[in-house]
Chains A and B, each alone.
Chain A
């Protein structure tokens, strides 16, 4: 078991308009991306569970041209409204960092990069 955050080159979040945040998980090497994709470790259901949302609230994408996964989630409050703690939505990605990816080791990723 390896944490997604150890395998991905970029894990980030940002507003996608005022009502949603979008989380991007981007890989450097195609092989690791494909292995994570094939592992099924990341899906709309997994993202929903991590954020305490219903699966139908999560838009989930596998984006092969960018070696990336994307999940777009409803914000708890519109961006920048009183009470919103993250005007840019830039720190909403942490729940995905420790998603377990079975059968892919970070050493594999390093070897692929080389």
Chain B
């Protein structure tokens, strides 16, 4: 029962950063709008998942669609943070994502199945992009990293997606380790999700609008 409540709290914890986002919407820099969509769509997917589980006993269809939307939103977010450089790298990652998603959801499995290949690839790509961006922020940006919104978000992405790729790789190999082991892993993921929501909220609070150049 406690696990169930933890999962519920984890799902709805995204409400906190979304509320802060709505309160700070006017101060949101342009490149952060993809992060805003990521939070809003993530929360919507959590509500949808509850509805699908209650009515159809599975949330796989909406989750499989959500995961590719999330992948593209975050790719775009990293592209914007990188000042739109290396567009060929991001195009390649986007094409790779589409190819793997189609293969995983239509050729290897069905869209209503628990598919893991795309999740492993997407999580690994997002974790690597997060690590790179986090290092970049730590080395090039002046000021404390503890109030640097990009650093905070990337740090949390890194933790979340490294762990996600870890879990999904176990799913991918269909190892017969036992339900209890997987349950423990999902409990940890739920905890990380709650911490991530708190970190995103803090990052949104730390976010400062760019000062526009004023010439008198």
> Are A and B part of the same complex?
no
